[in-house]
């Protein structure tokens, strides 16, 4: 009887462990799909994530391989790539109307500023966010604390001749994103993406490589 009892107990433990693994994978998948769908709807280009890993105990984890594809007419190179970001989510909020991200730390984001003609890829992404999506999420998103640090921007322009350079983005923080206006997921993502893209564009212009854009526009207007 004792042997049978141990087998039954062992079977129960195995079932619980299996259920825990399935639940963890399901939650990871929900977050991954949420990032991809809402990001793609917001930026009007493909957003992908390689992997999301969250702890059921405290909601801490990581987001790996976050990529934003270049929009439409630009090259096949990714406009944004983040190898890994650490995140802490209030787990109970995943099943409520408002998802609460307690902390999101993004290290070493890589952005690619590409200029073709009078257009630029990051400017296109920034403009895309102002276009209202018919599939806007009803879920709300609050990001208590966001830190983005050590960003790098590769700059490529082809006016007159092909030129490239690389610039850095100073670290910056945002607090309480989505708290005051009770943002939807897309609105909170926009509050995060806008300053990142604007800083990247500003640094690209300050680098001097894109000064030729302004000169060419003036030439065009004078003709």
pLDDT score, position 28: 79
113 closest CA partner among 103, 130, 126: 126
Q: Is the distance from CB of 138 to CB of 155 less than 8 angstroms?
A: no
Residue 94 reports pLDDT greater than 80: no
Assigned token pair, 75: 């090259």
Q: How many residues are recorded in the chain?
A: 223
Q: Give 201 or 22, the one with higher predicted confidence.
A: 201
| Helix ranges (DSSP H) in the chain | 2-43, 121-128, 185-206, 211-222
Of 165 and 223, more confident: 165
Cα 128 to the center of its chain, rounded Å: 15
What domain range is 32 assigned to? 2-222
Residues 6 or more apart in contact with residue 159 via CB below 8 angstroms: 115, 212, 213, 216
- pLDDT tens digits for range 135-178: 555 778 888 999 999 999 888 877 655 677 888 888 889 999 88
Q: How confident is the model at residue 5 (pLDDT cuts 50, 70, 90)?
A: very low
Identify the residue with better confidence: 74 or 181: 74
Q: What is the mean pLDDT of residues 86-98?
A: 84
Q: How far apart are CA 183 and CA 33, in angstroms?
A: 19
Of 154, 164, 161, 153, residue with least CA distance to 209: 164
Q: Count up the domains in the chain and report the number.
A: 1
Confidence band of 222 (pLDDT split at 50, 70, 90): very low
pLDDT tens, position by position, 60-84: 888 899 999 999 889 899 999 999 8
pTM for this model (two decimals): 0.79
**Residue 124 pLDDT exceeds 80:** yes
Task: Enter the tokens of residue 134.
Answer: 């018919």
pLDDT digits (tens, 9 = 90+) for 22-65: 344 467 788 888 888 888 998 899 999 999 888 877 888 888 99
């Amino acid at each position: 009887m004792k042997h049978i009892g141990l087998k039954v107990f062992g079977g129960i433990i195995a079932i619980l462990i299996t259920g825990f693994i399935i639940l963890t994978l399901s939650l990871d998948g929900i977050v991954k799909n949420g990032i991809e769908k809402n990001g793609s709807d917001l930026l009007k280009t493909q957003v992908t994530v390689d992997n999301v890993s969250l702890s059921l105990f405290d909601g801490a984890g990581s987001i790996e391989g976050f990529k934003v594809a270049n929009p439409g007419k630009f090259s096949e190179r990714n406009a944004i790539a983040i190898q890994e970001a650490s995140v802490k989510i209030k787990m109970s909020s995943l099943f409520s109307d408002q998802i609460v991200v307690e902390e999101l730390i993004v290290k070493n984001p890589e952005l690619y500023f590409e200029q073709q003609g009078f257009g630029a890829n990051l400017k296109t992404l920034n403009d895309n966010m102002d276009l209202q999506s018919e599939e806007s999420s009803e879920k709300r998103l609050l990001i208590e604390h966001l830190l983005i640090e050590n960003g790098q921007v590769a700059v490529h322009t082809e006016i007159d001749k092909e030129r490239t350079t690389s610039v850095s983005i100073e670290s910056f923080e945002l607090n309480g994103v989505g708290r005051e206006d009770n943002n939807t997921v897309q609105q909170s993502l926009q509050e995060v993406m806008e300053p990142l893209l604007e800083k990247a564009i500003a640094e690209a212009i300050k680098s001097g490589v894109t000064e030729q854009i302004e000169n060419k526009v003036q030439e065009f207007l004078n003709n």
